[in-house]
Amino acid sequence: MKPMFIFVPSAFKHGVTEKDIHHAYNTAIYEGPIDGYINKFAFVGFNMAGNPIEVFYNPIGDDKIKIFHAMESRNSVIDQIR
Three-state secondary-structure class, residue 29: coil
Domains of the chain: 4-81 (3.10.450.530)
Q: Where are the beta strands (DSSP E) in 2-62?
A: 4-7, 30-33, 41-46, 52-59
Residues 6+ away with beta carbon under 8 Å from 16: 47, 53, 55, 70, 71, 72
Check residue 62 and give its pLDDT.
85
Asked if 69 contacts 23 with a C-beta cutoff of 8 angstroms, the reply is no
Check residue 40 and give its pLDDT.
95
- In tens, the pLDDT along 29-68 reads 999 998 889 999 999 999 999 999 999 999 998 899 999 9
Reply yes or no on whether the pLDDT at 4 is more than 80. yes
- 9-15 average pLDDT score: 97
